[in-house]
Amino acid sequence: MVEQKDQGGETLRFEAEVAKLLSLMVHSVYSNRDVFLRELISNAADACEKLRMKSLQQPDLLGDDPDFKIVLSADKDGGTLSIADNGIGMDRTELVENLGTIARSGTKAFLDGMTGGDGSALIGQFGVGFYSAFMVASSVEVVSRPAGSDEAWRWWSDGAGTFQLEPVPLEEAPARGTRVLLTLTDEAKTYAEQATIERVVAEYSAHVPVPIVLRIGGDGVGEKSLADGSALWRKAKSAVETSEYNEFYGHVSGQYDEPAVTIHYKAEGRHEYSVLLFVPSMKPFDLFDPERRGRVKLYVRRVYITDEADILPGWLRFVRGVIDSEDLPLNLSREMLQKNPILDAIGKGVTNRILSDLDKLAEKEAETFEKVWEAFGAVIKEGLYEDAERRDGIYKIARFRSTKGDGWRSLADYVADLRPNQTAIYYALGDDLDAIKASPQLEGFARRGIEVLLLADPVDAFWVRTALGFDGKPFQSVTQGSAELDTIPVAEGEAETDAASESAIGTLAALFQQALGERVSAVRASSRLTTSPVCLVAGAGGPDRQLEKILSAQNQTMPRGAPVLELNPGHALIKGLAEKAAAGGHAEVLEDAAVLLYGEARILDGEAPENAADHVARVGRLLTAALG
């Protein structure tokens, strides 16, 4: 919104969320102020890389200045610091869009998460780096001239809610690119000192792919190279220190954690390419973005191409880093990227290498791998239903919670502990682990010492349906079909139960079926219950109960199939009802019992009775009869 105009300039108000963000930057995020310089240098490097890419089609944009660089100029006496680049530059519209508004949900998420802690992690996590300049500056001026343009614009703000925008004479602007000038606050003037700047650049920006030069004093005296723009991924692994990897990871990921896994190698053969990838130890903020977009930067012979190429599958979208190809053409278009067989081959090779390295990590450093799995297991499991070619490799590294203790279990662990006559890998689906553990359907499995995988991630309901099995053992839901547990012996120390006769249970089941009608597809005796009187399960041919619930929530018009009501022949209540059913009569009591037990089974499944008023009325009727 424009508030006033004066001699070609105008004052505009920040988007509301940005104004709030600037206030928080100034007053709240002080735990690591160094990050502002890292963010501004990263922005400058990105601008250079964008122009490098664009100049492949328009070489004249480079003019007589083909070498990219970032220049830091500090004036200790004046209390200023500038970060200048000779990259792509911004026009008026881009200045407003990039610095006055944020057209994505990252800002709101940042604000919602601003409840204390390390603000630097929040900056890196939510991508609001430019605004970190207001942690150290009383005002920020941005002068930018797009490459190939004869116009330049000045953006200025003190972070108080508005910003000014005006054209500037070309002699006051860079030949191309952007210059950010910070007027430092009194407590932040150390950032105009050479020692401080060198320390911060060495810690955070030593490996950006653009040279960085420091000038002390307004006349440029004392120019010093702080980074040569060398490509870390092209170096031999033995020549790179862990600290260098960590610095570079911060640059390419925008995060402030340390990588859990570093993958660095050079592939030679049919296709030649260099790889430097990182598995984060902290979840990126966009991990579950519906677009499932990857964040691996693609280079061709050290020339930046894009960070939006679909090199890795969606289930590896948390991986960050660089892939640099020797074989791809430099003039890649978006259409060529989508259909390029070389890129497909690189993606396949890199994906296999990531899986292999994760498998090695699981074997050699189980504790580290489990932290990776806790952060990204739900995403990796997406590959189990969408990447059949690598399903076996994902099975090897997959880890699960189960009824056998609180630790993580592999499928190999599960198969090694199969009970006598057990022919399937059993699993239970649910919204969370506690709810699954309370499921009555687990009782018969626990009685026989059968391990059950506890699957609480939404993706689990989908991959298990398409999974063919592991090591010759099919996956079987504990809430689907008949459990067929009678052939598996009861665990040692578990007593046999005194059950109602088959004929009495059969009679009761028939009466329950008649009372419930189409609400259930069948009523039968259960081998999976030991302490609960009833439970609901899905039929053998339909989807699991949890999957059906998820699909129904996504599509309100999709009808749900009628479940099977299973009765526990050893439960005192069921035995008593079976005796009444066998003796004849008691029709009203048995009908009430059928409806109430069906409602109880729904409650145990996390759902309400179908007709709450009717349910309450029947409870009242039974209580009144008991008192009489």
**Are 210 and 266 part of one and the same domain?**
no
**Are 216 and 283 part of one and the same domain?**
no
In a domain, 378, yes or no: no
Q: Is the pLDDT of residue 114 over 60?
A: no
| Least confidently predicted of 28-37, 105-114, 149-158, 488-497 | 105-114
**Are 289 and 202 part of one and the same domain?**
no
In a domain, 407, yes or no: no
Averaged pLDDT for residues 533-558: 76
Predicted pLDDT of residue 346: 95
pLDDT in tens, 49-68: 889 888 988 999 999 999 99
Annotated binding site, which residues? 39, 43, 85, 90, 98, 105-106, 125-130, 178, 334
In a domain, 30, yes or no: yes
pLDDT in tens, 14-43: 765 666 666 665 555 445 788 789 889 988
Domain end call among 227, 259, 281:
227
Predicted pLDDT of residue 126: 40
pLDDT in tens, 177-198: 999 999 999 999 999 999 999 9
Q: CATH number, domain at 305? A: 3.30.230.80
Predicted pLDDT of residue 564: 92
Reported confidence tier of residue 330, pLDDT bands at 50, 70, 90: low
In a domain, 554, yes or no: no
Q: Tell me the C-alpha distance between 28 and 21, whole Å.
A: 10
* Nearest residue to 209 (alpha-carbon basis) of 334, 133, 144, 303: 303
Query: What is the dihedral sign for C-alpha 132, 133, 138, 141?
Result: negative
Averaged pLDDT for residues 508-530: 92
pLDDT in tens, 119-152: 444 434 444 578 788 889 999 999 999 999 999 9
Q: CATH number, domain at 190? A: 3.30.565.10
Q: Which two tokens stand for residue 529?
A: 């219950």
In a domain, 392, yes or no: no
Domain end call among 324, 351, 368:
368
Q: Is the pLDDT of residue 104 over 50?
A: no
**Are 198 and 343 part of one and the same domain?**
no
**Are 200 and 84 part of one and the same domain?**
yes
**Which has more confidence, 345 or 304?**
345
Predicted pLDDT of residue 17: 63
In terms of DSSP bridges, do strands 80-85 and 162-167 run parallel, antiparallel, or are they unpaired?
unpaired
Q: CATH number, domain at 523? A: 1.20.120.790
**Are 218 and 322 part of one and the same domain?**
no
Averaged pLDDT for residues 279-292: 86
Q: What is the DSSP string of 52-74?
A: HHHTTT-GGGGTT--S--EEEEE
**Are 167 and 243 part of one and the same domain?**
no
Q: Tell me the C-alpha distance between 527 and 529, whole Å.
A: 6
The domain tally of the chain equals: 3
Reported confidence tier of residue 8, pLDDT bands at 50, 70, 90: low
Averaged pLDDT for residues 436-444: 91
Backbone angles phi, psi at 521, to 5 degrees: -85, -20
| Least confidently predicted of 557-561, 574-578, 610-614 | 557-561
Reported confidence tier of residue 107, pLDDT bands at 50, 70, 90: very low
Q: Which two tokens stand for residue 101?
A: 């508004």
CA dihedral 231, 237, 239, 241 (to 10 degrees): 90
Q: Is the pLDDT of residue 70 over 50?
A: yes
* Cβ atoms of 173 and 142 closer than 8 Å: no
- For residue 104, the tally of other CB atoms under 10 A from its CB is 12
Q: Tell me the C-alpha distance between 589 and 626, whole Å.
A: 11
**Are 173 and 275 part of one and the same domain?**
no
Q: Tell me the C-alpha distance between 541 and 250, whole Å.
A: 50
What's the 3-state SS for 329-351?
CCCCCHHHHHHCHHHHHHHHHHH
Residue 297 is inside which H or E element, if any? strand 295-300
**Are 212 and 74 part of one and the same domain?**
yes
Q: Tell me the C-alpha distance between 251 and 210, whole Å.
A: 12
In terms of DSSP bridges, do strands 261-267 and 295-300 run parallel, antiparallel, or are they unpaired?
unpaired
Q: Tell me the C-alpha distance between 584 and 51, whole Å.
A: 88
**Are 164 and 307 part of one and the same domain?**
no
**Are 259 and 362 part of one and the same domain?**
yes
Q: Which two tokens stand for residue 279?
A: 């598995």
Q: Compute the mean pLDDT over every residue in the chain, rounded to the nearest whole number.
A: 85
User: What do you get for the CA distance between the two ends of the chain, in Å?
Assistant: 76
Predicted pLDDT of residue 436: 92
Query: What is the dihedral sign for C-alpha 529, 533, 538, 540?
Result: positive
In a domain, 396, yes or no: no
User: Is the full-model pTM beyond 0.85?
Assistant: no
In a domain, 384, yes or no: no
| Domain enclosing residue 338, as ranges | 232-368
Predicted pLDDT of residue 253: 87
Predicted pLDDT of residue 20: 64
Annotated binding site for ATP, which residues? 39, 43, 85, 90, 98, 105-106, 125-130, 178, 334
Domain end call among 227, 251, 273:
227
**Are 99 and 217 part of one and the same domain?**
yes
In a domain, 618, yes or no: yes
